[in-house]
Structure formats: C-alpha cells, structure tokens
Amino acid sequence: ALDHVAGYCIGNDVSERSMQKGGPGEWIKAKSYDTFGPLGPWLVTADEIPDPQNLDLTTDLNGDRMQTGNTSTMIFTVAELVSYISTYMTLRPGDVVVTGTPPGVGMARNPRVFLKPGDELVLRVAGLGEQHTTVIAET
C-alpha cells in the first residue's frame, strides 16, 4: 500500500463540536465547514519519510501544549489504512487520507477546551514542518 503513497503532510482535522450531538451524519456535518481541513505547509514526498510510523507530533494552542504523540501509537498503520480504504473506494492521485489525532483534544479535557476566534494553533510533525492557523469567526 505504501508504494501508492505520494507523500505526507500535516492535516488539521478541525471539528465543530456542537454539530456532534447525535443524529445522522454527525461527523460529516462537524468536519465539513469551509476551511476546516487545512493541509500543509507542504507535501513531503514518501521517499523523504523512511518510516511514517515513527513521527513525533504536537499541537500548541496559544503557546500551550495540548497534544503530544507519535505515529507509532496509531491503532492502524498508514499502510493498513490505505489498504482498507482502497477496498471500499478508488483512491486516485491527489486524494488525501487523514489518519487521526494524538491524545489531548479539547473536548476530552476536563475542563473542556474549545477553539474561539483569535486562537492561534501550531501543529508540528517531525519531517513535515509546522502548520500555523488563526481561528476566525464565521461571517
């Protein structure tokens, strides 16, 4: 499966938690707002990432560390995900598979932490760079 991966990048899997309160399509609704899936800052080719299952990753919110992890703790490997997904849909050049998030999401914290306008996010993945995002209010 990894022979068919062009590369890797950071993807911020943003969720509108108020839309995840049940009902049909709750995950689709919560993750489908405009701007909710920023990718980048660039695509790193697969040959530059010798082991996608050994990448450190962090998320900082307004300078505070919220998430720390490593892809070695993924429930399913990148290869397993690509293989499994491709049995149900045709993956084509340019398709993106977002693999999940490390522990520490705001909704699972006590007290809960939710993004608000003006918040600054910095996502880092070893070998893939840093992604900087500023949260803005919907207009």
Mean predicted confidence (pLDDT) in 41-58? 96
Tell me: pLDDT of 27 over 70: no
pTM score of the predicted model: 0.86
pLDDT band at 22 (very low <50, low <70, confident <90, very high): low
What's the pLDDT at 23? Answer: 65
> What sign does the dihedral 39-43-46-49 (CA atoms) show?
negative
Selected residue with higher pLDDT from 35 and 79: 79
Tell me: pLDDT of 14 over 90: no
Tell me, what DSSP letter sits at residue 85? H
Q: How far apart are CA 74 and CA 77, in angstroms?
A: 6
Q: How far apart are CA 61 and CA 90, in angstroms?
A: 36
Which CATH superfamily does the domain covering 2-134 fall into? Fumarylacetoacetase-like, C-terminal domain (3.90.850.10)
Q: How far apart are CA 7 and CA 44, in angstroms?
A: 5
Kindly report, residue by residue over 81-130, the tens digit of the pLDDT. Answer: 999 999 999 999 999 999 878 888 887 888 989 899 999 999 999 999 99
Report domain extents, the chain: 2-134
Structure tokens at 100: 């999940």
Structure tokens at 9: 């990048």
